[in-house]
Structure formats: C-alpha cells, structure tokens
Amino acid sequence: MYPDPISVTRITSIGAGPIGGGWAAHFLARGYDVTAYLHDTSETEAFHSILNTAWGSLTDLGLAEGASLDRLRIVTDLEQALEGAQFVQESAPERLEIKQSLYAQMGEVLPPDVVIGSSTSGLTMSEIQAKCATPERCVIGHPFNPPYLLPLVEIVGGDKTAPDAVVWAGKFYEIAGKAPLLMKKEIPGFVATRLQEALWREALHMVANGEATPEDIDIALMNGPAPRMVSQGQCMAFHVACGAGGMATNLDQFGPALKLPWTRLEAPELTRELRDRMVDGCNDIAGDRHFEDMAAQRDREIVAVLRALREARLG
C-alpha cells in the first residue's frame, strides 16, 4: 500500500521553528529534496539562521552524496508546499486546533499513501488526526532536541493510524539516518521524555530541598551517568556491570534496593513477570556477545567520547 521508503526523495517539512528548521536541515544533509512550508515570509530569515547553524554541524558529521542546501525550496502556500511530497514532517506549533486544522487540510490534498510524521511532544496522534479524512497514514515521529543532531525518533500511531504506516515510518526514518523507536503504546511523554522527566523532577526535588544546586545536578550527570549512557542504555549498563549473571543478578541480588529511598519515585513491584521481561530483554540485546567483550566495547566507547569531548573543549 505504501511505496518502498527507499524510493522517497522529496520531503515536505512544515514549520519554521527550531524543530521544523532542524528537520529540514537533517533531510537536506541526507540528500533529500526538501520543501519547507513557512506560515509567513516574515519567518524566512529566522528559518535560514536555524538552517545554517544546523548545516555547519551536519557538514562536520558528514553529508550524504549530493546533499546540498540548494535542494531546499521555501514555500508559504500549503497546497503548493505539499505538491509532489513523498513524506511530510510536521512541526507546526503545539496547539491542538492548529494541528487539527492542518491535518484536515493535508488529509484532503495529499495522496493517502503519503505518510505524515508529527514532531509533537505534548499531543497524541489520536487527538491530532481527529479531523483528518485520511488519518490512517498519520503517525507521530518525535525527535529529540536538537533534531539535526540527536538520532532518536519515537514513532507511534493514534487510534485511527494503520499499523502499516507505523512500520513504514520506522523503516523510512532509519533509511533517513535516524534511530527509530517503534512505541508499544500511545503514552504521554513517549519513552525518552518520560525517562528524562523522572530524572528532571528528582533534580527539582533535590534543589527544592537544598540537597543540590543546579550546578551539582549538571556536574553529576555530565561526569557520571552520561558518558556511559551514550555507549550503553541503563538496562545494558546494569546487565554488563553484573558480569556473567547479568540483569538476573542485578534484580535478584539488588532488587531490595528498589525499596530504598534513593529517589522519590517508588519502584513498581518486582514481580516474576517484570523480572523475566527485564532479564529476557537484556539477554536478547546481548545476543551471543560475552559480557567481557561488551564491557571492553563500553570502555573503548567511553574513552573515545572522553577524548572527543576534551578536544572539542580545547578547540
């Protein structure tokens, strides 16, 4: 039903803000033809500024063959902006009535096999697609700021989204150089923001209680969890740190620590089912890799990151 995502060459990016501009820059850097829809010509200068900032970083990261800022077209008429689009990334303002009206219009104009990905962080696709006549192809494709640098895109449909469209979006974003995460459920904050928000609220509690300053919070994160977390997420970090026993040892041995007041967030009950999901999940990620090899790879990556940061800070 949907065309092969590898055949996509023309993308329309809607929105003149940092997210819309960031997406436009990213797609241009991956070698796509990009049409940017701005609401008003008065937004052009700010849009170019975002684009140029992003382009510098993207050039340093390495452009795809044929990638060029010349392949950008800026349009302020919506119908014209959607002409020929094979994929649409929507980063309009985060107001439901604006998005609903936009999706109603796009639903009429765009062929039904053109997938639309929304950058929304605070709305659900079930809400956004409510007034769209062709809601099956509408998904959320939520980036992480800055969107031209961070690879994550969280993908989830709404009540009326076709499962095929979600799968298609996952494949498309991967081809387009992103790290797609196909979500299991439509939940507020998706996955990454929920994790970040838990950390953030614990930080606010600590500052409110005089336990830490904002500077302390940042020193702790930048020099503690972060350089490891670029190499291993928290699940694999614990899995590998526990040696041969992995996540099973972590939960069976240190499970009681989940009751300790190490954060204000209460842990869920560590049921057998949760324990097994965590253990099986980590074993699946590890595959046939030995924990010592994974630890060595982690260390190589941390060393590379620390060296790169040192140089970037000196330079």
For the segment 161-200, give every residue that binds a copy of itself (CB under 8 A): 179, 181, 183-185, 187-200
> In the structure encoding, which two tokens stand for residue 244, read together?
């041969």
| Torsion angle of C-alpha atoms 27, 116, 78, 22, degrees rounded to 10 | -30
3-state secondary structure 69-137: HHHEEEECCHHHHHCCCCEEEECCCCCHHHHHHHHHHHHHHCCCCCEEEECCCCCCHHHHHHHCCCHHH
Q: How far is the CB of 185 from a copy of itself (least distance, A)?
A: 5
Q: Which is nearer to a copy of itself, 88 or 153 (CB)?
A: 153
- Part of the chain binding a copy of itself (CB under 8 A), chosen from 5-13, 75-83, 107-115, 229-237: 229-237
Q: How far is the CB of 270 from a copy of itself (least distance, A)?
A: 8
Which of 111, 267, 289, 290 forms a contact with a copy of itself (CB under 8 A)?
267
Q: What is the DSSP string of 42-64?
A: GGHHHHHHHHHHHHHHHHHH-PP
Which of 6, 40, 208, 272 forms a contact with a copy of itself (CB under 8 A)?
208
Q: Which is nearer to a copy of itself, 133 or 230 (CB)?
A: 230
Residues 43-62 touching a copy of itself, rule: CB under 8 A, are: 53, 56-57, 60-61
Which of 104, 227, 252, 291 forms a contact with a copy of itself (CB under 8 A)?
227
Which of 4, 108, 159, 218 forms a contact with a copy of itself (CB under 8 A)?
218
Q: For residue 259, what is the DSSP state?
A: G
- Part of the chain binding a copy of itself (CB under 8 A), chosen from 78-86, 126-134, 161-169, 224-232: 224-232
Q: Which is nearer to a copy of itself, 133 or 306 (CB)?
A: 306
Q: Which is nearer to a copy of itself, 68 or 213 (CB)?
A: 213
Residues 62-121 touching a copy of itself, rule: CB under 8 A, are: none
Residues 245-264 touching a copy of itself, rule: CB under 8 A, are: 247, 257-258, 260-264
Orientation of helix 44-61 relative to helix 18-29, angle to 10°: 40
Residues 119-148 touching a copy of itself, rule: CB under 8 A, are: 122, 144-146
224-240: buried (b, 16+ CB within 10 Å) or exposed (e) per residue? eeebbeebbeeebbbbb
Q: Which is nearer to a copy of itself, 113 or 186 (CB)?
A: 186
Q: Is 224 in the site for a copy of itself (CB under 8 A)?
A: yes
Query: Would you call 270 helix, strand, or coil by DSSP?
Result: coil
Beta carbons within 10 angstroms of residue 193's beta carbon: 16
Q: For residue 184, what is the DSSP state?
A: S
Residues 271-300 touching a copy of itself, rule: CB under 8 A, are: 271, 273-274, 277-278, 281-282, 284-285, 295-300
Q: Which helix (H) or strand (E) holds 16?
A: none
CA gap 84, 10 in Å, rounded:
7
- Part of the chain binding a copy of itself (CB under 8 A), chosen from 9-17, 23-31, 101-109, 219-227: 219-227
Tokens 């065309």 appear where?
A: 3
Q: How far is the CB of 105 from a copy of itself (least distance, A)?
A: 28
Identify any residues that bridge with 35 across adjacent strands, giving them in sequence order: 12, 73
64-99: buried (b, 16+ CB within 10 Å) or exposed (e) per residue? eeebeeebbebebebeebbeebbbbbbbbeeeeeeb
Query: Would you call 139 helix, strand, or coil by DSSP?
Result: strand
Q: Which is nearer to a copy of itself, 163 or 268 (CB)?
A: 268
Which of 1, 98, 133, 230 forms a contact with a copy of itself (CB under 8 A)?
230
